[in-house]
A = this chain, B = another copy of it.
Amino acid sequence: MKIGFIGLGNMGAPMAHNLLKAGHAVNVFDLNTHAVQTLVEAGAKAAASPKAAASDVECVITMLPAAAHVHSVLTAEDGVLAGIPKGVVIVDSSTIDPASVKAFAALASQRGNTFVDAPVSGGTGGAAAGTLTFMVGGSASTYEQVKPVLSAMGKNIVHCGDTGTGQVAKICNNLVLGITMAGVAEAMSLGEALGIDVKVLGGIINTSTGRCWSSDTYNPMPGVIDGAPASRGYTGGFGTDLMLKDLGLATDAAKLARQPVYLGALAQQLYQTMSAKGAGRLDFSAVIKLYRDDRGQGSGNGDAR
């Protein structure tokens, strides 16, 4: 199948590689010529513009940092909508706000194209291994149409509902994630301060009602889960600034919907504090530093006089 792929960053590049491995013909475009070159060496065809990448293909995939980039890639003079054949589906795997998705879908349909939101989870590891989860927002028929293509890059291709619901699913999951991670950081730090062995505490939580991915798989306390970012200085993993971006999408969507998100808004401030301290590129589980660093300097007794 002939595919146009736009956006060869940490996620997009390995995704495009997996399309090639699956035998698809891929036109690639990115402002980073080095990223393009690497894909060309793997068998892709370099395109001079998004417009060129979208010409004469059966599917277009975009993987970009934010809604503003998707907008320009679609609507620029040499953009996708200027070159794409009628009837071809545009799959956007960027994580953006649901309102922008609806606007882009409207633009695409004016041109006779279908715009599908299909954000991913699984990180750079899942992108390389081809084990990503795709959360797809679109009609049932469009979902069936794009499923085979996405299957070359991911393990779970989930149909979330109509256009925009893929982003809603991604945003809501990461809202829970951002809250539970900070909550586990809080509880593990409190337990440590109160004198329980953190590995014992982790074991109890993970077999009890506090059980969650942030505790049993990705515990932020060093020494509890082997191989978690906490056990390697919070390097790699899912960056604090990325979590901050997703919580920003969640609180903005909540603002538009007049929906309270008390814990989400507070968690956002905690990660924002980490980012302000220069830790934006550390894994988001490093938020536990807010609870543990410079600790034990307080009088540490119950008498606040």
Q: Inside 8 A of A296's CB, which chain B residues have their CB? A: 276
Which A129-179 residues have a C-beta within 8 angstroms of B? 133, 135, 156, 158, 160-162, 164-165, 168-169, 171-177, 179
Q: Inside 8 A of A180's CB, which chain B residues have their CB? A: 176, 179-180, 183, 210, 212
Interface of chain A: mostly helix, strand, loop or mixed = helix
Q: Inside 8 A of A183's CB, which chain B residues have their CB? A: 175-176, 179-180, 183, 263-264
Of the candidate stretches A22-30, A35-43, A46-54, A251-259, the one touching chain B is: A251-259
A242 near B305: Cβ-Cβ < 8 Å: yes
A231 contacts B by Cβ under 8 Å:
no
Q: Nearest chain B CB to A123's CB is how many angstroms away?
A: 9
Q: Nearest chain B CB to A279's CB is how many angstroms away?
A: 8
Q: How many copies make up the complex?
A: 4
A165 near B65: Cβ-Cβ < 8 Å: no
A253 near B294: Cβ-Cβ < 8 Å: no
A172 near B187: Cβ-Cβ < 8 Å: yes
A209 contacts B by Cβ under 8 Å:
yes
Measured CB to CB, the nearest residue on chain B to A68 is B303
**Nearest 3 interchain pairs by C-beta:** A278-B297, A245-B304, A212-B212
Subset of 14 A-B contacts with CB under 8 Å: A121-B209, A160-B196, A162-B195, A172-B188, A172-B194, A173-B187, A175-B183, A177-B210, A190-B257, A190-B261, A194-B257, A258-B280, A258-B300, A278-B294
